[in-house]
């Protein structure tokens, strides 16, 4: 199952995408501005999906929005969760906090209001605010059944599916404040999409994440190489905190970020970042 949100005919729509990714079928949802959230919540209650509310349309004629354009709350995000990525940052300001020295994942928040669509333009801040804008290609886990203190052994029962996010980061702001939320949460700093693929069609523990900048491959990683796997992340984020249907956990980025280049390669106006994950599809955003 693929759940998506899109605009067409002057209205927002929510529905399903065909397995080949070519057709969109709108469903009868009361508030389409919430994207796929009501559908995920209904499925978590073992309710059926709403009936179709219109004709199928070719995906190329609609404007895809983020599948969760208004997330339930802040995104849970994981820092330095691929070994090669941790290594590439070992000579940077992060050298004192390498995750392999710690038995726990690095977890931070990213405000849900920064989510934008899979092909939206991302506005760069003025140079007075930040000059070190970076990209991070990531698999994101979408929670289905909620819960608290979820054990690792049952964590996958709580995963609804997966989508793609670009955890765009203002590195200088991230370092300036030591806590990461501000540098991660500028308006537009979380492109998401193109849709959510359910866990019965994709095992996020065994897929491939790639990222390109202006057509040049920068990132290429396998999710099996995560330091902390998806069940561990669900267990960690639910310790003492109730996860809800529609919550999002961004699982970290592979090596190849701009900060890890020699010299660092920050995003500039006109740059395009494309992220592709096997079994999901791709997002591509222009930065201006």
Q: Residue 222 pLDDT > 70, yes or no?
A: yes
Domain assignment present for residue 244? The answer is yes
Give the model's pLDDT for residue 4: 98
Domain assignment present for residue 275? The answer is yes
Residue 288 CA to residue 272 CA, distance in Å, equals: 9
If pLDDT is split at 50, 70 and 90, which confidence band does 258 have?
very high
Residues 81, 134 within the same domain? yes
Residues 86, 193 within the same domain? yes
- In percent, how much of the chain has pLDDT > 70? 94
Residue predicted with more confidence, 71 or 89: 71
Please list, residue by residue across 221-237, b when 16 or more beta carbons sit within 10 angstroms of its beta carbon and e when fewer do: bebeebbbbbbbbbbbb
Where residue 98 sits, what CATH number does that domain have? Answer: 3.90.850.10
If pLDDT is split at 50, 70 and 90, which confidence band does 100 have?
low
Residues 211, 85 within the same domain? yes
Structural domain tally of the chain? 2
CA dihedral 135, 107, 74, 82 (to 10 degrees): 30
Q: Residue 119 pLDDT > 80, yes or no?
A: yes
Nearest to 183 by CA among 168, 195, 167, 170: 170
Q: Residue 96 pLDDT > 60, yes or no?
A: no
Residues 33, 90 within the same domain? no
Q: Which of 16, 46, 65 is the last residue of a domain?
A: 65
> Lowest mean pLDDT: which of 97-101, 104-108, 159-163, 214-218?
97-101
Domain assignment present for residue 70? The answer is no
Give the model's pLDDT for residue 48: 95
Q: Residue 40 pLDDT > 70, yes or no?
A: yes
Domain assignment present for residue 168? The answer is yes
Q: Which of 20, 47, 65 is the last residue of a domain?
A: 65
Q: Residue 85 pLDDT > 70, yes or no?
A: no
CB-based contact 208:277 (threshold 8 Å): yes
- pLDDT tens digits, one per residue of 183-220: 999 999 999 999 999 999 999 999 999 999 999 999 99
- Where in the sequence is the domain holding 59, given as residue range(s)? 2-65
Residues 186, 55 within the same domain? no
Number of H helices, E strands in the chain: 5, 18
If pLDDT is split at 50, 70 and 90, which confidence band does 95 have?
low
Give the model's pLDDT for residue 180: 87
Residues 61, 176 within the same domain? no
Residues 20, 109 within the same domain? no
Give the model's pLDDT for residue 177: 82
- In percent, how much of the chain has pLDDT > 90? 89
CB-based contact 29:3 (threshold 8 Å): no
Residues 227, 109 within the same domain? yes
For residue 141, what are its two tokens?
């886990």
Q: Residue 182 pLDDT > 90, yes or no?
A: yes
The three-point CA angle 260-262-214 to 5° equals 75
Give the model's pLDDT for residue 13: 97
Please list, residue by residue across 136-149, b when 16 or more beta carbons sit within 10 angstroms of its beta carbon and e when fewer do: bbbbbbbbbbbbee
* pLDDT, the chain, mean: 94
Residues 130, 192 within the same domain? yes
Domain assignment present for residue 24? The answer is yes
CA distances from 45 to 91, 157, 163, 239 (A): 48, 14, 21, 22
Give the model's pLDDT for residue 186: 97
Domain assignment present for residue 255? The answer is yes
Domain assignment present for residue 135? The answer is yes
Average of per-residue pLDDT across 220-225: 97
- pTM for the structure as a whole: 0.94
Residues 88, 26 within the same domain? no
Residues 43, 86 within the same domain? no
Residues 45, 80 within the same domain? no
Domain assignment present for residue 211? The answer is yes
Q: Which of 65, 88, 113 is the last residue of a domain?
A: 65
């Amino acid at each position: 199952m693929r759940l998506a949100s899109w605009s067409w005919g002057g209205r927002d729509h929510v529905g399903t995408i065909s397995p080949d990714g070519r057709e969109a079928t709108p469903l009868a949802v009361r508030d389409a501005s919430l994207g796929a959230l009501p559908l995920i919540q209904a499925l978590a209650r073992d309710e059926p999906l709403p009936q179709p509310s219109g004709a199928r349309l070719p995906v190329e004629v609609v404007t895809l929005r983020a599948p969760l354009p208004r997330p339930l709350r802040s995104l849970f995000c994981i820092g330095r969760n691929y070994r090669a990525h941790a290594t590439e940052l070992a000579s940077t300001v992060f050298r004192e906090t390498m995750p392999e020295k710690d038995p726990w994942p690095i977890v931070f928040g990213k405000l849900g209001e920064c989510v934008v669509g899979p092909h939206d333009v991302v506005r760069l801040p003025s140079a007075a605010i930040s000059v070190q804008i970076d990209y991070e290609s990531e698999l994101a886990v979408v929670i289905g059944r909620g819960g608290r203190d979820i054990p690792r052994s049952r964590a996958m029962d709580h995963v609804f599916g997966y989508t793609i996010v670009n955890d765009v980061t203002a590195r200088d702001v991230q370092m300036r404040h030591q806590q990461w939320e501000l540098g991660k949460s500028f308006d537009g700093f979380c492109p998401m999409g193109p849709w959510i693929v359910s866990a019965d069609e994709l095992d996020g523990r065994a897929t491939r994440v790639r990222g390109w900048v202006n057509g040049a491959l920068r990132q290429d990683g396998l999710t099996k190489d995560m330091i902390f796997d998806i069940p561990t992340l669900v267990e960690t984020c639910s310790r003492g905190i109730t996860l809800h249907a529609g919550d999002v956990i961004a699982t970290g980025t592979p090596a190849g970020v701009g900060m890890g280049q020699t010299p660092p390669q920050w995003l500039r106006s006109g740059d395009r970042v494309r992220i592709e994950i096997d079994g999901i599809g791709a997002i591509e955003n222009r930065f201006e």
